[in-house]
Amino acid sequence: MYGIIHGSYTESFLEYTLALATASNDTVTSTKIQLEMEKVNFPLQKSTYRSILQECLQVGNGLASYQTLQMMQSKNIPISEWDIQVAISAICKNNRWDPGIGIWKLALDLIYNHGVYLIRDDVNWTTTAIRDDVNSTTTGIKIESYNAIITCMTKDGCWDDVWDILQKMEHRPAVGEENNHTRIHHPPPNLSTYHIILEGLFYSKDGPQSAQRILKSISSIYSPSLDTFDLALSIFLKRENNC
């Protein structure tokens, strides 16, 4: 696809071309480039894998981004929260183009199995309102990545998975549990999380009952917005119209 590898190339050129080939699933060119990199003593490094992840995001190649993280792990290259978030974005973009195949499960696997711990020292769970930017000073996977995965779940109608991850996110740690690194601490849901679920419930047969549950959760943490009520009202009106 990108021509025969020959001559002398800069490291940045080889890195970028490898990223394009990998994101395009062009294994032939990818193999040739890696051989050329070995020839010039330019091993694959963190910047190489990051270039691949970025290109995978551009084209929405979720599987390739997931496999790239696996390769990094096998070569003992540290994986950062940024790397995982880019891979999750690529997977969710892939899911929008190919709904129903459940590729979002790879994104969920990244959260559960890469041992990403969220230290929530800035979260006061005793308050009645949590800021939408509550995750701004924490470490770990950002709430935007969770929201993207939940969007995929609702689009595919996988409501058991939605309630499962939401329950984990709503879990309020006991005193002293915030710094317990023997378990994953998920970010608390923000108002956008609940709105995504309400949007999905419009198309669910259990919409009204589940919407009441969501409204109760929102009221215990946030001040519901006009969008909250509009989304909930549309669900209840749909039920009335179908009666």
Mean pLDDT of 37-55: 92
Instruction: Give, in order, the Cα–Cα distances in Å from 161 to each of 18, 127, 155, 156, 181.
Output: 36, 28, 12, 10, 24
| Same domain, residue pair 112 and 125 | no
Which pTM was predicted?
0.79
- What's the pLDDT tens digit per position in 98-108? 766 788 999 99
Residue 206's pLDDT is 82
Residue 114's pLDDT is 65
Split into its structural domains, the chain has a count of: 2
| Same domain, residue pair 94 and 149 | no
| Same domain, residue pair 43 and 154 | no
| Same domain, residue pair 135 and 234 | yes
Residue 129's pLDDT is 31
Considering 87, 116, 145, which residue would you say is the last residue of a domain?
116
| Same domain, residue pair 177 and 124 | yes
Residue 106's pLDDT is 93
| Same domain, residue pair 124 and 233 | yes
Domain that holds residue 88: 1-116
| Same domain, residue pair 131 and 69 | no
pLDDT of residue 64 exceeding 70: yes
Residue 181's pLDDT is 46
Range with the lowest mean pLDDT among 57-71, 89-103, 172-186? 172-186
- The three-state secondary structure class of 3 is coil
Residue 130's pLDDT is 32
Q: Which residues contact 35 (CB under 8 A, 6 or more apart)?
A: 5
Residue 187's pLDDT is 86
Q: Over the Cα atoms of the chain, what is R_g?
A: 21
| Same domain, residue pair 175 and 233 | yes
Instruction: Please check whether residue 65 is in contact with residue 56, taking contact to mean a CB–CB distance below 8 angstroms.
Output: yes
Considering 116, 141, 160, which residue would you say is the last residue of a domain?
116
Instruction: Please check whether residue 84 is in contact with residue 116, taking contact to mean a CB–CB distance below 8 angstroms.
Output: yes
- What's the pLDDT tens digit per position in 109-163? 998 876 444 444 444 333 323 333 333 333 468 899 999 999 999 999 999 999 9
Considering 116, 131, 163, which residue would you say is the last residue of a domain?
116
